[in-house]
């Protein structure tokens, strides 16, 4: 049976409409699957970040010491900080200033921290106990104290309340992440250090503070307490 031109046209249009309908159904199904995949992905990412934040929130707070540091002139035996003289070249001034900073680096800044902790504890620490005392403060804090004085030499002779990071083991101990019932041989801190921690907490010298160093400091192997994520942040940004 031969179809007329009009019948063939109608048949062609019907075929095209059915084909388009199938294509639209497939496209709609693909879109729904794509949307579902995106929603599942976002849900999993949300769960991941929620898990990270839940487990990582304690790291945003760090054991911190608030003690009074006396910038003792007898310890900081330095000439006055150099001032650029009239007609002096920048090179000559920088050379004199570098020599002064080198001298400042030789000052026993740790002794100022030791004296500050002794005043906070209300007792004189024997030489054999210095190691236990210094375990309370992050090792990098003596350099931070040096840099603070270099930036402001007028501190000489003053007594200023300084915020210092506690040692990494102190932070873990204060947060309760170490079993306190473990024998002394398995503890990172000595019995004396642990006793002093209790005293400093009772005196509100040792507290938990928001850790800005986590965001502004880079990684550090020498001072774990002051290590931060700034390098990782920059790497992720780039």
Residue span of the structural domain in which 85 resides:
60-237
Cα distances (Å, whole numbers) of residue 37 to 26, 45, 62, 192: 16, 12, 39, 57
Judge whether 32 lies within some domain. Answer: no
Judge whether 109 lies within some domain. Answer: yes
Judge whether 110 lies within some domain. Answer: yes
Judge whether 52 lies within some domain. Answer: no
Q: What is the pLDDT of residue 112?
A: 97
Task: Return per-residue pLDDT of the chain as tens, 238 residues.
Answer: 565 777 777 767 777 777 777 888 888 888 899 999 999 999 998 998 888 777 777 677 889 999 999 999 999 999 999 999 988 899 999 999 999 999 999 999 999 999 999 999 998 999 999 999 999 999 889 999 999 999 999 999 999 999 999 998 999 899 888 888 888 888 889 999 999 999 999 999 999 887 766 666 666 555 555 556 667 777 777 8
Judge whether 148 lies within some domain. Answer: yes
Cα(168)–Cα(228) distance, rounded to whole angstroms? Answer: 13
Cα(57)–Cα(44) distance, rounded to whole angstroms? Answer: 20
Judge whether 117 lies within some domain. Answer: yes
Q: What is the pLDDT of residue 26?
A: 84
Judge whether 78 lies within some domain. Answer: yes
Cα distances (Å, whole numbers) of residue 230 to 124, 145, 212, 233, 237: 39, 21, 11, 5, 10
SS3 of 220, please?
A: coil
Q: What is the pLDDT of residue 225?
A: 54
Judge whether 191 lies within some domain. Answer: yes
Q: What is the pLDDT of residue 215?
A: 64
Name every residue whose Cβ is closer than 8 Å to that of residue 93 and which is 6 or more positions away in sequence.
Answer: 82, 84, 85
Identify the burial level of 91 via C-beta atoms within 10 angstroms of its C-beta, where 0-12 means exposed, 13-18 middle and 19 or more buried: exposed
Domain count within the chain = 1
């Amino acid at each position: 049976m031969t179809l007329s031109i009009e019948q063939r046209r109608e048949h062609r249009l019907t075929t095209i409409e059915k084909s388009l309908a199938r294509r639209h159904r497939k496209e709609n199904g693909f879109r729904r699957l794509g949307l579902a995949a995106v929603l599942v992905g976002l849900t999993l990412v949300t769960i991941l970040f929620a898990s990270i934040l839940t487990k990582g929130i304690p790291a945003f707070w760090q054991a911190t010491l608030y003690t009074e540091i006396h910038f003792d002139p007898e310890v900081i035996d330095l000439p006055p900080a150099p001032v650029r003289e009239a007609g002096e070249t920048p090179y000559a001034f920088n050379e004199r200033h570098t020599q002064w900073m080198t001298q400042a680096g030789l000052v026993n800044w740790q002794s100022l921290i030791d004296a500050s902790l002794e005043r906070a504890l209300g007792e004189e620490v024997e030489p054999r106990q210095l190691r236990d005392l210094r375990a309370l403060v992050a090792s990098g804090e003596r350099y931070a104290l040096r840099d603070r004085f270099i930036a402001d030499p007028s501190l000489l002779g003053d007594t200023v309340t300084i915020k210092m990071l506690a040692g990494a083991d102190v932070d873990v101990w204060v947060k309760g992440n170490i079993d306190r019932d473990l024998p002394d041989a398995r503890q990172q801190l000595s019995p004396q250090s642990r006793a002093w921690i209790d005293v400093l907490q009772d005196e509100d010298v040792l507290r938990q503070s928001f850790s800005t160093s986590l965001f502004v400091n880079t990684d550090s192997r020498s001072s774990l307490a002051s290590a931060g994520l700034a390098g990782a942040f920059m790497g992720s940004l780039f």
